[in-house]
Structure 1
Amino acid sequence: MERYLEFTINHWEMVLALLLTLSVLLITERRKAAPSVSPQQATVLANGEDALLLDIRTPADFKAGRVIGSKNIPFADLTKRMSELEKHKDKPIVIICKTGQTSSSAANVLKKAEYTNVHRMAGGMAEWTGQNLPLVRK
């Protein structure tokens, strides 16, 4: 224990940088509006709990390949088309985007509209296709 204290005193800049990095990481994680689920967990939610799979990618991306049973509402149109989600307010909603980044912003929009059972699919469609899971192509 003495050596840790000695290290901390002698290298306080490094310890401070570590603490700042951990703080930023913690703040970033807390800002995420919804918990993430794996593609397999998203499938379980869709099949077992009748979750809505909400694909927020562009219509072109959606047509190129989508998850079976997913509904496409592009992120840019989400606030205008919230009425389409009204019947799913009490059901789980899994948000799917391209890489898992935009889904946080969409989850924030849904949380502000008082949707409580919202999830983000970790890795988005990139993760889904990376695991060679089935796609519907139009």
Structure 2
Amino acid sequence: MTSSSFLADNWYWIVAAVGSGGMLAWQQIQGAAASGLSPSAAVLMVNKEKAQIIDVCEPTEFAAGHAVGAKNVPLGQIASGKGLPSNKKTPLVVMCATGVRANKAVAELKKLGHENVQPLAGGLRAWREANLPVEKA
């Protein structure tokens, strides 16, 4: 039996192995991107702890749609502290379109001394999928 006939005779096992490995890798990637608050946990944080929603999208994205009551502070402006609550104990829920920029912003906000900062897992997409209110500027 040659190696080429082995591959030809067992191609379906090779495809299954590659496919299952790809699915496992995809789940790991999704799990890493999905860290943070669920939309329902974010709503509880806003309602019970008076958290402020900070949307770190660019102004054009923010104008196209954002969580009701969110304040727009683009990711590039986070380091300046402009537009952020002066009380660094104010709880913050940070969101963007998908959650990637929010995670970066959370790290930056913690460096600035904000104590209770959480990213919204899945961003505005997850917020909309949870049928939570969205407004346009």
TM (norm. structure 2) is 0.71
Distance in 2, matches of 1:136 and 1:83, equals 23
Deviation at 1:84, TM superposition (A): 2.9
1:137 is aligned to 136
Deviation at 1:76, TM superposition (A): 1.4
Report the RMSD for the aligned CA atoms in angstroms.
Answer: 2.5
Q: Sequence identity, in percent?
A: 33
Deviation at 1:45, TM superposition (A): 0.9
Distance in 1, matches of 2:47 and 2:85, equals 20
Q: Where do residues 30-69 of structure 1 align in structure 2 (5 Å cutoff)?
A: 36-69=36-69
Runs of 4+ in 1 over 6 A off after TM superposition: none
Structure index of larger Rg: 2
Deviation at 1:86, TM superposition (A): 4.2
Pairs aligned (count): 110
Go from structure 1 to structure 2 and tell me whether the alpha carbon gap of 1:119 and 1:45 turns closer, same or farther (over 3 Å shift): same
2:94 is aligned to 95
2:83 is aligned to 84
1:105 to 2:99 alignment: no
Mind listing any 5+ residue stretches in structure 2 that lack a counterpart? 1-27
Go from structure 1 to structure 2 and tell me whether the alpha carbon gap of 1:88 and 1:125 turns closer, same or farther (over 3 Å shift): farther
Distance in 1, matches of 2:62 and 2:131, equals 17
Secondary structure at the counterpart of residue 133 of structure 1:
coil
Counterpart AA for 1:43: V
Mind listing any 5+ residue stretches in structure 1 that lack a counterpart? 1-24
